[in-house]
Structure 1
Amino acid sequence: MSLLDELYKEIILRHYKSPHNYGPLETANVRVMGDNPSCGDQIELQVETDGEHIANLRFRGQGCAISQASASLMTDLVKGKTWAEALELKSKFKSMIVDGTPPVPELGDLAALSGVHKLAARVKCATLAWNALEQAAHQAGAVSRAPNA
């Protein structure tokens, strides 16, 4: 295993064992549920938004290391962003995971999940939180304002 692979594995395991932004968000005004029946992954995404910005977000759920690490990394990345910015990041992440495009710097540590595109059964695990984020954007009424949503 290469040094980069080891680093990526370490990032995924760290976010799985000690996820960031995990737990309830009492001030959330948007809540969405997502699940991956083929793997058993589940997530509840809770977002505090003014309709344009993601002021805060947290998640709760259970599942494999990939789904939970992806949720943890995603919440770190999009907190404080506008919905348009968050959905642009979602597009870049999905391109990396689904199409195998090289990770872009804007995705930061999410590059650790870049190898998932080689594991078709794990693509849904990695994108679960991002699909929930897109649902939350719809619920917040932000999709019509966001490019490439």
Structure 2
Amino acid sequence: KCLIPGELVNETVSVQTSNDGVTFSVSDLITFTAVPRIVVKSIQPPLVGFENDQVFISGEGFYDSDSLCCKLGSLDPKLFVAEFLSPNLVTCKWKKLASATEPGLHMIAVSNNCQDFTHLDGDSAIRITSELSSLTAATVDLETGPVTGGSV
């Protein structure tokens, strides 16, 4: 485990290892880039289904990396696909969650390295429902209506 000094954010550094704290490795140097922590600002939509669904997560600090990942609560991140859209927007997609979790409120977390996830709190919650996929419009009674405040 290595501690990263805060002033190294957005810098690539070489990492050397030592067994005694005196003699450090010089071959096979590993490089590491420290990036700022992710800050989640919003998740849309707040209501999603179990199958073939996704959410858009806006915030700060998203990094275009093969290690970008997301998860719901304690579920395995391998059930999800995170896609980088910009430093301020990612998507979190899934195919099937019905056997992995129950309907209800779930916290979503994102990580640039699939290790250090954002904190799971009420601001990062989405509601999963089993009924969402069965919603369809059967008929529309009105063909015209007001721009605001009307009914369909």
Question: What interval of TM-score do these two structures reach, taking the shorter chain for normalisation?
Answer: under 0.3
**Greater C-alpha radius of gyration:** 2
Which structure shows the bigger proportion of residues in strand conformation?
A: 2
TM-score using structure 2 length: 0.24
Higher relative contact order (CA 8 A, sep 6+): 1
Which structure shows the bigger proportion of residues in helix conformation?
A: 1
